[in-house]
Amino acid sequence: MTEYDVIIVGAGPGGSVSAKFCAEAGLKTVFFERGRKPGEKNASGCGLGPRMWREFPEMMKRLTPDVAPNLRMASCVINHYLNKEMEEIAVEMYYPTASVTYEPAKKFITMNCYRSEFDPWISSLAVEAGAELRTSTLIKDLIKDDKGKTIGVQTDTGEKIFGKIIIGADGVISTVAIRSGLNPRWRPDQITLVPQYDFSAPPDIIDKMFGSDGLFRDAADGTWWGVTFPSAYQVIFGDGFHIGLGAWMGQWTSNPINFLNKLISSRPFQRMVKALNAKPREIQTHLLPWTQEPIKTYTDNVMLVGDAGGFPCPLEAEGVFPAMETGKLAAETAIKCIADGDTSKQGLKLYEEKWRKSSTGIEFSTGGETLQRLWKNLFFSVQSEKNNMEWFIPLYHEIRGGHFDWSEPHIIRMRQILETVRSYIPQAMPFFQKYVIPLISDVIEEDLNLLPLFIKLTEGLRPKKKK
Amino acid sequence: MDIQLEKISEHVGDTGDFIKVDSEKCNGCGQCALVCVANLWLIRKGKAILKDDYTKKCLECAACYSVCDIGAIEFSYPRGGTGVVYLKG
């Protein structure tokens, strides 16, 4: 019988980082992957945020085109706005702003990398550090002692492996979370379903359009906001792109693929497909935890990291960085608790103390709830009872685009725009009060009610004389 | 744009059965069929049934299991090294 110090279920970004740090500290470490190699079961956006380079500088400088040939820098986000008729009515592009404080965040928003390239690379760092990687192995159950404490795992062939600590890095439907009792089942409002198409496109055309000398310089990340479908993301890699969208379980009124098909069949999207000579290459679908608060993430001898613990950020559900950060914190906890000889839940409480103080934890401490409520009721409101995008998109279009126009003398145009903006106030005001003010209160850390000020301001903007 | 999903999806090995429906519990609500991106569920005589070739087409997202709030669907992943493969995930 082999006994390990640490057993990690999952060889994605969370499991691999845990395995690397545990092995580097001299712990006997094994990590399991159900695919034939890490990354072949995973689908995600997949944009890597600059916080990874800040928190893991030594590791991330080794992520180069040699190991991830289709890595592409995304310096700029492109927002596409579509109306009810699925016609494009606005496009905007944003590079990082002056308030961004550090490199490489000043240079890029994300580094786009296929999971089929990223996961084999990051798991190889753990193997290099001395962790044992077992692929093609599904962990089906946990082994418990007579007091009900987890002491090992069982594979799909019945093999039993024992360990002092078990780290669940096994994703959204986590055997470790379910069998340990930490999370028997997600509520529908805690998980989203995300269908995604991968399209191929010739690298030279991608370069011409989105390369560093391209028409849209280093644009490698796009969002598509429409009235009739949940907000979609587009992530551009070296030889293709992903287009996907998601919404919470229980909110779908029709098969999720229908919404995605409606978007990719739209004329604006088809124009891009044609310009890039893009072809559908792969269909991928996954569940993604998207919660206002992570679940309980530790119990006797067990910790949960990444998606298994509900750690994707509450606003955009970015999951790779939180997985890596919580993976590292779980490893630090394991190292200390094994040294101290206390892997009980009292000992492992340290893990939660650590993640609450981390960059990942700050996302949830203040603002997580208000940000997510705003997001959920605006760009993802398509399936909720009130489709706020129906007024938001034309209102935004009017404010941002209304003055690029020579149809009337400018002062007349400005009054037309103002009147149109005012016509949306009955819909915008309750939304503003319910979702925006609580968020501003969280940002400035003070309860406030800006509504009277806002109403006064808009009343005051009425032209005083009849036209 | 008409895309046939089975043409852009790769599966390997013999997965064995990994989704089971308890037809006693199933109330035929159809939520599993509604959310299945791969369109692998049918509702027959008020019960959800899986298409025969689901193991060759399932994308392993577990949406059916997650959406079934009466717990009629049991989901475990295919045996190690088999099932869907994402080459560009």
CB A335 within 8 A of CB A23: no
- Distance from C-alpha of A43 to C-alpha of A242, rounded to nearest angstrom: 10
> Which DSSP helix (H) or strand (E) runs through A274?
helix A267-276
The answer to whether A186 and A307 are in contact (CB under 8 A) is no
pLDDT at A367: 80
Which residues of chain A neighbour B58 with C-beta distances below 8 Å?
none
**Amino acid at position A411, single letter:** I
Give residue A18's pLDDT band: very low, low, confident or very high (50, 70, 90). very high
Considering CB atoms only, which of B61, B62, B80 is closest to A137?
Answer: B80
Q: Are residues A62 and A99 in the same domain?
A: no
Question: Is B55 within a domain?
Answer: yes
Residues A420 and A284 in one domain: no
Coil vs helix vs strand at A348: helix
Domain boundary pick from A293, A311, A328: A293
Are A90 and A197 within one domain?
yes
Judged against a pLDDT cut of 90, whether residue A46 lies above it is answered with no
Give the C-alpha separation, A40 to B89, whole Å: 7
Residue A352 sits in the same domain as residue A284 = no
Considering its fold, how many domains does chain A have in total? 3
In a domain, B63, yes or no: yes
CATH for B51: 3.30.70.20
Position A443 confidence tier, pLDDT thresholds 50, 70, 90: confident
Least confident of A84-93, A437-446, B43-52: A437-446
Q: Tell me the C-alpha distance between A307 and A325, whole Å.
A: 12
Asked whether residue A177 falls in the same domain as residue A317, the answer is yes
Residue B2 within any structural domain of the chain: no
Domain annotation covers residue B88? no
Q: What is the domain range of residue A409?
A: 371-460
Residue range A81-97: mean pLDDT, rounded: 96
Residue B47 domain boundaries: 27-77
| pLDDT tens string A336-361 | 999 999 999 999 999 999 999 999 99
Instruction: Specify the DSSP class assigned to residue A49.
Output: P
The answer to whether residue A467 is domain-embedded is no
Tokens of A363: 């996302």
Specify the higher pLDDT residue, B1 or A282: A282
**DSSP string for A422-438:** HHTHHHHHHHIIIIIHH
Please answer whether residues A326 and A311 qualify as being in contact, where contact means their C-beta atoms are separated by less than 8 angstroms: yes
ipTM: 0.97
Residue A242 is predicted with a pLDDT of: 97
Contact B67 A250 (CB under 8 A): yes
Q: What are phi and psi of A123, to 5 degrees?
A: -70, -30
Mean pLDDT on A308-314: 95
pLDDT-based confidence at residue A384 (cuts at 50, 70, 90): low
**Domain membership flag for residue A29:** yes
Number of H helices and E strands in chain A, helices first, is: 17, 19
How many domains are there within chain B?
1
Q: Are residues A36 and A153 in the same domain?
A: yes
Statement to judge: residues A430 and A440 lie in one domain: yes
State both tokens at A455: 């109403």
Q: Does residue A351 lie in a domain region? A: yes
Instruction: Give the pLDDT score at A466.
Output: 55
State the sign of the Cα–Cα–Cα–Cα dihedral A303, A306, A310, A311.
Answer: positive
Give the whole-angstrom CA distance, residue A294 versus residue A163.
Answer: 25
Q: Check whether residue A61 and residue A138 sit in a common domain.
A: yes
Number of A–B residue contacts, CB under 8 Å: 131
Q: Sorting pLDDT into bands at 50, 70 and 90, what band is A1?
A: low
Judged by CB atoms closer than 8 Å, whether chains meet at B80 and A155 is answered as yes
Q: What is the mean pLDDT of residues A389-399?
A: 94
Q: Which of A293, A318, A344 is the last residue of a domain?
A: A293
> Is residue B21 a part of any domain in this protein?
no
pLDDT confidence band for A257 (50 / 70 / 90): very high
Do A150 and A275 belong together in one domain? no
What pLDDT, on a 0 to 100 scale, did the predictor assign at position A451? 66
Q: B7 in a domain, yes or no?
A: no
A127 domain-assigned: yes
Closest CA relative to residue A239, chosen from A205, A283, A214, A213:
A205
Query: 3-state class of A189 per DSSP?
Result: helix
The shortest CB-CB distance from B86 to any of A40, A186, A264 is to: A40
In a domain, residue B52? The reply is: yes
At A381, the pLDDT band (50, 70, 90 cuts) reads confident
- Quote the minimal CA–CA distance from B62 to chain A in Å: 7
The verdict on a CB contact (< 8 Å) between B60 and A41 is yes
> Residue A172 domain-assigned?
yes
Alpha helices in A26-155 (DSSP H): 51-55, 57-60, 115-128
- On average, the pLDDT of chain A sits at 93
- Residue B41 has, within 13 A of its CA and on its CB side, a CA count of 26
**DSSP helix, strand, coil percent of chain A (3-state; round to 5):** 40, 20, 40
Q: Write out the two tokens for B49.
A: 């049934």
Joined tokens for residue A227? 């009235």
Is B86 within 8 Å of A264 when comparing Cβ atoms?
no
pLDDT of A96 over the 70 cut: yes
With CB atoms and an 8 Å threshold, state whether A138 touches B77: yes
Contact A105, A47 (CB under 8 A): no
**Which of A42, A138, A261 faces B80 most closely, judged by CB atoms?**
A138
Residue A313 has pLDDT above 80, yes or no: yes
Taking residues A273-288, report their average pLDDT.
97
Q: What CATH code is carried by the domain that includes residue A148?
A: 3.50.50.60
Q: What is the CATH number of the domain that holds A251?
A: 3.30.9.90
Establish if A10 belongs to a structural domain: yes
**In Å, how far is B9's CA from the nearest CA of chain A?**
6
**β-strands A219-225, A232-236: how paired?**
antiparallel
Query: Is residue B3 in a domain?
Result: no
Of the listed ranges A50-64, A66-80, A92-106, A430-444, the one predicted with least confidence: A430-444
Q: pLDDT band for A458, please (50, 70, 90 cuts).
A: low
Model confidence at A460, pLDDT cuts 50, 70, 90, reads low
| A447 against B53, higher pLDDT | B53
Helix, strand or coil for residue A319?
coil
Q: Is residue A246 part of a domain?
A: yes
Counting residues of chain A whose pLDDT is more than 90, the rounded percentage is 81
Nearest-angstrom CA–CA distance, A129 and A39: 19
**Segment A201-220, tens digit of pLDDT:** 999 999 999 999 999 999 98
Reported as a single tens digit per residue, the pLDDT across B53-68 is 999 999 999 999 999 9
* A99 pLDDT higher than 60: yes
Q: Which residues of A touch B10 (CB under 8 A)?
A: 282
pLDDT band at A2 (very low <50, low <70, confident <90, very high): low
Instruction: Select from A321, A346, A365 the last residue of a domain.
Output: A365
Q: A193: which chain B residues are within 8 Å (Cβ-Cβ)?
A: 35, 37, 61, 63, 66
Nearest to B63 by CA among B35, B83, B43, B85: B35
Give the single-character DSSP code of A125: H
Instruction: Tell me, yes or no, whether A36 lies in a domain.
Output: yes
| Domain co-membership, A378 together with A276 | no
Q: CA of B41 to nearest chain A CA: how many angstroms apart?
A: 12
CA distance B42 to chain A (A): 14
Percent of chain A at pLDDT above 70?
Answer: 95
Same domain, A168 and A49: yes
Confidence of residue B1 (pLDDT cuts 50, 70, 90): confident
As a whole number, mean pLDDT of residues A261-287 equals 97
- Is there a contact between B37 and A283 if contact means CB atoms under 8 Å apart? yes
Q: Are A376 and A353 in a shared domain?
A: no
